[in-house]
Amino acid sequence: MITIINYGMGNLRSVQKAFEQAGFPALVTSDPQKIEEATRIVLPGVGAFADCMKSLQRRKLIDPILRAIEAKKPFLGICLGLQILFEESEEFGIHKGLGVIPGRVVRFRLAKKYKVPHMGWNRIKKQKRLPMLAEIPDGSYFYFVHSYYVIPEDPEVVVTTTDYPRDFCSSIAKENIFACQFHPEKSQKIGLTLLKAFAEGK
């Protein structure tokens, strides 16, 4: 079962509906036991980094998430679900993340003509081959809405970059983890293609 983690933040129903559109039922839950039993885990998110970590702690979800990752269960992080995999974020102070991926989350610092948050459709540029992206052409447009982006310590984890106005990391992969800054659930047909590939284990 695809299990979407509910920690009180994020567009959970839209992620669930997108999986259903792609042909795969998905469960939304905050029950640690159901997360332990999941075969595939999705961590979406919209909001502030520190609030996310506090909510995960309050609901006792951090340990089940870390155990699932350690058990090599397929894991999909979306937007904030990407960012909290990292060691720390500078959003409203310095805050510790899950520490699964070495690196930091930083704010866009751009010329005034570039708006922050970075919002709307933008292209991804593939940096490496990944079975999950095999049916997604290089240069495909996905939907973004974020003011912060990740800087991995290890460039080998970077799967795609996106230009705003210089390249930033827009998705990463490591072993059983794929996580993206963009929102596949808001990215129409191409987003459903990505979700379908995750659900099918590509």
pLDDT in tens, 105-118: 999 999 999 999 99
Which residues, including other chains, have CB under 8 Å from residue 77's CB and lie 6 or more apart? Answer: 42, 43, 44, 45, 84, 85, 177, 178, 179, 180
User: What's the pLDDT score for residue 146?
Assistant: 97
Query: What percent of the chain shows pLDDT beyond 70?
Result: 100
pLDDT at 16 over 90: yes
**Phi, psi dihedrals of residue 188, rounded to the nearest 5°:** 55, -140
Mean pLDDT value across residues 136-164: 98
Query: What percent of the chain shows pLDDT beyond 90?
Result: 94
Q: Which amino acids are annotated catalytic?
A: 79, 183, 185
Residue 175: name the closest of 101, 125, 87, 96 by CA.
Answer: 101
Q: What is the pLDDT confidence band of residue 34, given thresholds at 50, 70 and 90?
A: very high
Mean pLDDT value across residues 123-142: 97
Token pair in block for residue 53: 């970590």
Domain 2-199 annotated CATH 3.40.50.880: yes
pLDDT, tens only, 153-169: 999 999 999 999 999 99
User: What's the pLDDT score for residue 9?
Assistant: 79
pLDDT, tens only, 43-96: 998 889 999 999 999 999 999 999 999 999 999 999 999 999 999 999 999 999
Distance CA 157, CA 50 (A): 24
Mean pLDDT value across residues 172-187: 98
Give the three-state DSSP class for 14. helix
Residue 71: name the closest of 29, 100, 113, 109 by CA.
Answer: 100
User: What's the pLDDT score for residue 11?
Assistant: 78
Q: What residues form DSSP beta bridges with 146?
A: 118
User: Do 110 and 102 touch, CB atoms closer than 8 A?
Assistant: no
User: What's the pLDDT score for residue 187?
Assistant: 98
